[in-house]
Amino acid sequence: MSHRTGPAMAVLAAFALAGAACATSPRSVSPAAANPSDSPSRVAAQPPTAIVDPLPSWRLDWARGAVFYQVFVRSFADSDGDGIGDLRGLISRLDYLNDGDPATRNDLGVDALWLMPVFVSPSYHGYDTVDYEHINPPYGTDADFATLLREAHRRGMRVIVDLVLNHSSAQHPWFVEASSSPTAARRNWYVWRADDPGWTQPWGGSYRVWHTSGDQFFYGVFWSGMPDLNWRNPDLRAELYRIAERWLTLGVDGFRLDATRHLVENGPDQQQVDQPETHAALRELARAVRQRHPEALLVGENWTETPLIAAYFGSDREVPGGDELPASFNFPLAAAIVGAARDGDGDAVRSVLAEMAAAYPRRALDAPFLANHDMARLTTQLGGDVAAQRRAAALLLTLPGAPFLYYGEEIGLENGSARGDEAKRTPMPWSGQAPGYGFTAATAPWHPFSGDPQARNVATELSDEGSLLAHYRRWIAARRASPALRDGDLFLLDSGRETGVVAFLRRTDGERALVVHNLARSGATFAAPMSCDRLAVRLSDGDVRLADLPKHGCLLDLPPQSAWLGTVRSD
């Protein structure tokens, strides 16, 4: 969609104010018709049933506008000198994230934490779970986790944890039992068939997804070490809901749900993703959570396009935010923001925001971000361009929803030199002191540091008001101080011929916030729909100058790669 025509101040879209959900009610599919195998064990298991009884709405005001910080515990802080980050190390660094005192200025000011997998696992990354009910010993104990929750909550931070429900580890006792015999009690907790139909991973390539065990095959969309759980099985689902309830009762504030597009498969290629039974299963999970914990956040990982992401909010428009997942990560918007920061053109950002306005249900809770543990780090994607990183951060932190920051993003941490995902998850440098750089007392951490930790570390940037870290702190503080920025609707504004400008109004009762980003490497102007004397400048990143226009307009003269935030009380 072009945004270069029409009146300069035409309102193009209103996100979260209106917009039709593009999801439809998942149709009921009989197990026999949906079953890719004639295995009796698979046919016998039933899909989730429709939800008909009324339930309380999600109560997620705490998450609207909240800034989340994604932590890979292994790489954040090591308390015992073994080179591996742990929960006690994270606890020791909580004051850096949020010290609980709004009067101080040295903390980052985030509102919540997302912990990547912390449950028992044989791998460094933890996405192949062996025990869903206990903390991985290298990270500490269950008591350490309870202490983390208590200390985070004391500072006003919520905590959500990665819950991997699409698959388990092949070493999980469930799978060990299931693979021991076709008549094993938990055989139906996984997906079996007598032959390999030759399916490959739905995102492309030639990797086959059916794996040999004895004289049969089990389904594992990622690899043979992570067999997929059989979500058609009601006993399996009940056990997963019990596990979720256990952690919520202990004080966890919600879950990041891994690989939610892949829960149920009906055939090869795209029949392995986004199936009606997957939506039904997630509605049932959401119902189980919402019955007792309506304030618990569920964030889905649906790495796909905007209309398909929108479907994961659910199909019941009477439930604010939807009856399925109350939040989903916004992968198209992440790609658009990073591209805009790199190239200086905001067209892709405007297009995604317009798509969201059309597709997302009312009061959907978006989860925008810039990069995560599966992507090249933001610094690496942008070639080390600090100005571009600043633009991406400012844009992210002025958008609706609950933005997520990946640990180290705020100091410009880059990818390591090694290949593989480990290079995206390197240790956090807290100081410039070798060899442990404040991360560990060990001679060497579990993985080498990336970049130059002597030059790029938390201590160095904390002492520099012009640093990237200081930039993040300022925009987070501005977000927290503005009700419109935290929870207002978004009205996308036409930038005319200025393709590098992304401008919008955020509006809630009592306040309007005007946000203008110039992503270009050249100066730009923007005509605001209100008089200059009504605008209270909250934050100006660059020497932005204002001049009155006839009929109560205000002209903003924007230097290259700048951003501006002003607010006005609503009439």
pLDDT in tens, 365-395: 999 999 999 999 999 999 999 999 999 999 9
Q: Which residue has the higher pLDDT, 36 or 490?
A: 490
- The closest alpha carbon to 42, from 178, 221, 205, 200, belongs to 178
Active site residue 258: yes
pLDDT of residue 53: 55
Q: Which contiguous run of DSSP H or E holds residue 306?
A: helix 306-311
- How confident is the model over 54-75, as pLDDT tens digits? 677 889 999 999 999 999 999 9
Per-residue pLDDT band at 570 (split at 50, 70, 90): confident
> Is there a contact between 264 and 278 (Cβ–Cβ < 8 Å)?
yes
- The closest alpha carbon to 229, from 361, 158, 129, 126, belongs to 129
Strand order in the sheet with 553-558: 524-528, 553-558, 545-549
- How confident is the model over 415-469, as pLDDT tens digits? 999 889 999 999 999 999 999 999 999 989 999 999 999 999 999 999 999 999 9
pLDDT of residue 465: 95
**Cis bond leading into 429, ω under 30°?**
no
- How confident is the model over 90-147, as pLDDT tens digits? 999 999 999 999 999 899 999 999 999 999 999 999 999 999 999 999 999 999 999 9
pLDDT of residue 320: 65
pLDDT of residue 441: 97
Contacts of residue 562, defined as CB under 8 A and 6 or more positions apart, other chains included, come to 517, 518, 540, 541, 542, 543, 544
pLDDT of residue 318: 65
Per-residue pLDDT band at 42 (split at 50, 70, 90): very low
> Rounded mean pLDDT of the chain?
90
**By percentage, how much of the chain surpasses pLDDT 90?**
84
pLDDT of residue 39: 38
Long-range CB contacts (within 8 A, 24+) of 540-548: 540/564, 540/565, 541/390, 541/394, 541/471, 541/474, 542/518, 544/516
pLDDT of residue 197: 97
> Is there a contact between 290 and 325 (Cβ–Cβ < 8 Å)?
no
CA–CA dist 72, 70 (Å, integer): 7
- Write out 473-518 in H/E/C secondary structure: HHHHHHHHHCHHHHHCEEEEECCCCCCCEEEEEEEECCEEEEEEEE
CA torsion sign for 376, 379, 382, 388 is positive
- The closest alpha carbon to 513, from 557, 470, 563, belongs to 563
What residues pair up with 528 in beta bridges, in sequence order?
554
- How confident is the model over 308-324, as pLDDT tens digits? 999 999 977 666 667 89
Looking at the predicted structure, is the pLDDT value of residue 474 above 80? yes
Looking at the predicted structure, is the pLDDT value of residue 20 above 70? no
- In order of 39, 131, 184, 216, 225, the CA distances from 213 in angstroms are 15, 22, 14, 6, 12
pLDDT of residue 26: 29
Length of the chain: 571
Placement of tokens 């361009």 in the chain: 385
Looking at the predicted structure, is the pLDDT value of residue 51 above 80? no
- How confident is the model over 238-281, as pLDDT tens digits? 999 999 999 999 999 999 999 999 999 999 999 999 999 999 99
Buried b (16+ CB within 10 A) or exposed e, 116-151: bbbbbbeebebbbbbebeebbebbbeeebbeebbeb
Per-residue pLDDT band at 48 (split at 50, 70, 90): low
Looking at the predicted structure, is the pLDDT value of residue 21 above 80? no
Among 78, 301, 409, 487, which one carries the catalytic annotation?
301
Among 162, 228, 258, 366, which one carries the catalytic annotation?
258
pLDDT of residue 38: 37
CA–CA dist 168, 185 (Å, integer): 17
CA–CA dist 226, 191 (Å, integer): 12
CA–CA dist 409, 378 (Å, integer): 7
pLDDT of residue 418: 85
pLDDT of residue 363: 82
Amino acid at 37: S
CA–CA dist 301, 334 (Å, integer): 13
pLDDT of residue 569: 86
Query: In a 3-state reduction of DSSP, which class is residue 11?
Result: strand
Looking at the predicted structure, is the pLDDT value of residue 33 above 60? no
Active site residue 301: yes
250: how many CB neighbours lie within 10 A of its CB? 11
Q: What is the mean pLDDT of residues 344-349?
A: 97
- How confident is the model over 204-231, as pLDDT tens digits? 999 999 999 999 999 999 999 999 999 9
Using the 8-state DSSP alphabet, how is residue 435 labeled?
A: T
Using the 8-state DSSP alphabet, how is residue 549 labeled?
A: E
CA–CA dist 451, 457 (Å, integer): 10
> Is there a contact between 179 and 214 (Cβ–Cβ < 8 Å)?
yes
Q: What is the mean pLDDT of residues 338-356?
A: 97
Q: Give helix 386-396 / helix 331-343 axis angle, nearest 10°.
A: 140
